[in-house]
Amino acid sequence: MQGRIPPSRRRFLSTVAGTSAAVAATSLFAGSKIVAQQVEQSPQNRRVLRSVKWGMIQAGDSVLDKFQLCKELGYDGMELISPTKISATEILAASETTGLPVHGLVDMKHWEVRLSSPDPKKRENGRQILEQAIRDAKSFGGDSVLLVPGKVTGEEETHDHVWNRSIAEIRKSIPLAARQGVRILIENVWNGFCEMPDQLKDYVDEIGSPWVGVYFDIGNARKFAPSEQWIQTLGSRIVKLDIKDWSKKDGFCKIGDGDVDWKAVKAALMETGFSGWSTAEVNGGDRDRLADIAQRMERVLG
């Protein structure tokens, strides 16, 4: 496959990227007053902090109502989206009132306007959308943007195309990410791309920047290999976690009811030294549903 690098070079980049990423993450974490306060005040000083995707919150009439609800249910923070019609002023006010930080945003256009598109103009537009998401994350007090780098669709958008085209666009966005203090985090999804842990590791290492890491989706990974195996392979490249479950019998299911070996996942996270944000990505709902999700997250990861 094009875009692959020699094993010796990969090992070198892995060491550099892992060390640099840890330094960058420490710097970013220490620079966020709200996040630092939240970690200090969270129950049992959790190693894994809990949040939900903004669209999952189907209760509360205002931004503040939604923040307050999540606070009452024991969540540690929020993850929002870009683009959004919600103003930074409103978000920051709700965050300050409740003490819940916005830890990051999701680039909501990455499927539609792909960095892997065969059309150069669409790739450029996708990069511009990503860069606006980086600015939005900064304005909301977050430190990451979740990105799906492309999709394998056929002869004009092969695995190699996704690899090379997306890396070219992401590299153009790294200087802005560094200036804003916002990391670009690649999510593993069912897009035909990097569906084994070694591939995703090599992809991130080829980009070779501490401002690019992995937003590891535990449930998405289980279809292709045990989730704990992904964690062991990706190691310190994992910056944040998406929490869901999956089974061969039922597909996506409630957290804790699928084929994910959560005990092994937790052990792998401990072994790699993971400490940071996890975000549920499941069907949302009202207060009762969100409370059940919080309890399930606590049960599987503690």
pTM: predicted TM-score of the whole model, two decimal places: 0.86
According to the model, what pLDDT value does residue 45 have?
57
Residue range 249-282, pLDDT digits in tens: 999 999 999 999 999 999 999 999 999 999 999 9
How much is the average pLDDT of 287-301?
97
* β-pair type (251-253, 245-247): antiparallel
How far CA 40 is from CA of 33, 34, 269, in Å, comes to: 11, 10, 20
Q: How far apart are CA 54 and CA 277, in angstroms?
A: 15
Among residues 188, 183, 152, 209, which one has the least CA distance to residue 17? 209
Among residues 176, 208, 232, 240, which one has the least CA distance to residue 18? 208
Q: How far apart are CA 68 and CA 73, in angstroms?
A: 9
Among residues 110, 151, 160, which one has the least CA distance to residue 2? 160
Longest dimension (CA), the chain: 55
DSSP state of 47: S
Residue range 23-75, pLDDT digits in tens: 444 434 333 443 433 334 444 455 899 999 999 999 999 999 999 999 999 99
Residue range 13-37, pLDDT digits in tens: 444 444 444 444 443 433 344 343 3
Residue range 212-230, pLDDT digits in tens: 999 999 999 999 999 999 9
For the domain spanning 7-301, the CATH number is 3.20.20.150
Show me where the domains of the chain are located.
Answer: 7-301
How much is the average pLDDT of 199-204?
98
Q: Check: CB of residue 78 under 8 Å from CB of residue 284.
A: no
Q: How far apart are CA 219 and CA 196, in angstroms?
A: 14
According to the model, what pLDDT value does residue 302 have?
82
